[in-house]
Amino acid sequence: MKQQWNTERKLYTLCILVEDIPGILSQVARLFSRKGYNIESIVSGATDKPGITRISIELMGDELMIEQIAAQCRKLLPVKAVKILDEETCIRREIALIKVRAADRAARDEVIQLVNIFRAQVIDVSKESLTIWVFGSQSKNTALIGMLEDFGILEIAKTGTIAIERGRSTIYDDNKIKEEYDYGKNVL
């Protein structure tokens, strides 16, 4: 029986556990490039297991595309686990640093009030600017940036999106058996 795929394009996050070896991030990114997929966000960082790195990749696509790229990632030798997360099943967060113009005391006070409403923090103050740190969902950070545009944004630096599945499920669940990941790795 042929499987029905949802062709609606939406935002997915692909979480990949890989061996912490030089060049692995570029190897994974090249796989996406070769397939012609545009990465919206890519972040890598340490995990709870020594020698293992977690890569979170955010991309727009349909269900079939995501399943195909996940299958291709599983074939890479350094890959230990792959999990597809969608908006309903995960928590996504990003960090933004925003430098905003605040030429006088009244402007600084207004910016500080906005920052407090969004539960962000002022992390640097000068006579003509404030630098704000905000951690949250992409929509929260975008909303704060929109409110700060009236004051004049001087610079923005944002991380990519990190994600983790809600509830008890982990990236270690529902993955291929260990032998499949290790197949061929000890042949050479």
Domain boundaries, the chain: 10-90+163-182, 92-161
Return the CATH class of domain 92-161. Answer: alpha beta
- What are the pLDDT digits (tens) for 165-175? 988 888 887 55
- What are the pLDDT digits (tens) for 127-149? 999 999 999 999 999 999 999 99
Percent of the residues in the chain that have a pLDDT greater than 90, as a whole number = 71
Contacts of 73 (CB under 8 A, 6+ apart): 14, 16, 28, 31, 79, 82
Contacts of 33 (CB under 8 A, 6+ apart): none
Cα separation values, 103 from 115, 124, 126, 156, Å: 17, 14, 9, 18
- Is the pTM higher than 0.85? The answer reads no
Query: What backbone phi and psi angles, to 5 degrees, belong to 180?
Result: -70, -40
The answer to whether 159 and 93 are in contact (CB under 8 A) is no
pLDDT greater at residue 56 or residue 178: 56
31: confidence class by pLDDT, cuts 50, 70, 90: very high
Q: Does the fold of domain 92-161 match that of domain 10-90+163-182?
A: yes
CATH topology of domain 10-90+163-182: Alpha-Beta Plaits (3.30.70)
